[in-house]
Structure 1
């Protein structure tokens, strides 16, 4: 891996860095963990870049999402295998209630939504992320490797889970 990243790779990374950072934000509450995940995603993108072949009917963002989500989910699974600290959920909830990077204010509703999303499975989080990114079901299906009908069904189920999590007890 002594070769320097190509100009095309660096341009794509620059353009889609916010997308990668949103994936990291959704899958990691701790800033250091987010940065580690970001670096791991970039490394995997760089390794895969030579094999990327642009397709007329596929977007670069679809390819990037697929890799970013796979790395994030793998990373999450590795972290959940480690023994959890006592009070980690409380710490995560406090963190999510704080303003996000680059914003001076995060309303309570947004904090509650992030807390609810944090309680979803790793696959359900991927659906939410793609939905919040306004990705069409066709692109979601390509990214997740399932049919559009399956995307619709799973999206409906995820929305129901979120509604239940957001209802005050």
Structure 2
């Protein structure tokens, strides 16, 4: 039987994609992403004893990761450059791998223009979570999640138009 530490490390390894996705949404260079990942893992470990299993581990991990990223982001007060957003993310599957890589890189740069809550909304939306799940992860109602997500999508469309990155 696994001890508590081994169980925790196994779960982190199993769901490490969450760490990388959250860090990439909030930080724009490898060093900052690695620092954020370390901070998230530390916070996950500190709060692991309080994880009761009422939700899936991955759901709990999303919430802790996003809350940590929001707090970390406030502490760092990073100055972000202005980047642009690529429209039609659903078209990424239709393009060759080089173009796909370029579009994804530009997408992540564009996300840095969003505020911390908008980043979390887009992240959870792209993870395929429902409005209800997004609300639960952010501690808001399902209706509020729906409204905020729609406003964030509109903001991204404005960014697209402002910087001329429409297809």
Question: Do the two structures share a fold, i.e. TM-score over 0.5?
Answer: yes
TM-score (norm 2): 0.80
Partner of 1:100: none
Partner of 2:110: 116
Secondary structure class of the residue paired with 1:138: helix
TM-score (norm 1): 0.79
In structure 2, how many angstroms separate the alpha carbons of the residues matched to 1:27 and 1:144? 16
Residue number among 55, 58, 63 corresponding to 1:61 in the alignment? 58
Partner of 2:31: 32
Q: How well do the aligned residues superpose, as a CA RMSD in angstroms?
A: 2.2
Do the aligned residues in 2 keep the contact of 1:62 with 1:142 (CA within 8 Å)? no
Q: What does the per-residue CA deviation read over 1:20-44, in whole Å, with 9 as the maximum and x for residues that have no partner?
A: 1100011111111110110110011
**Which aligned segments of 4 or more residues in structure 1 are displaced greater than 6 angstroms?**
none
Partner of 2:92: none
In structure 2, how many angstroms separate the alpha carbons of the residues matched to 1:21 and 1:109? 18
Partner of 2:136: 142
Partner of 1:166: 160
In structure 1, how many angstroms separate the alpha carbons of the residues matched to 2:27 and 2:13? 21
Q: How many pairs are equivalent?
A: 148
Secondary structure class of the residue paired with 1:105: helix
In structure 1, how many angstroms separate the alpha carbons of the residues matched to 2:27 and 2:19? 12
Map of 1:58-97 to 2, 5 A cutoff?
58-80=55-77, 84=79, 89=81, 93=83
Report whether the alignment pairs 1:151 with 2:145: yes
In structure 1, how many angstroms separate the alpha carbons of the residues matched to 2:41 and 2:51? 14
Secondary structure class of the residue paired with 1:6: helix
Partner of 2:125: 131
When structure 1 is superposed on structure 2, of 17-26 and 133-142 the one drifting more is 133-142
Do the aligned residues in 2 keep the contact of 1:5 with 1:46 (CA within 8 Å)? no
Q: What does the per-residue CA deviation read over 1:34-58, in whole Å, with 9 as the maximum and x for residues that have no partner?
A: 1011011001101111111011xx2
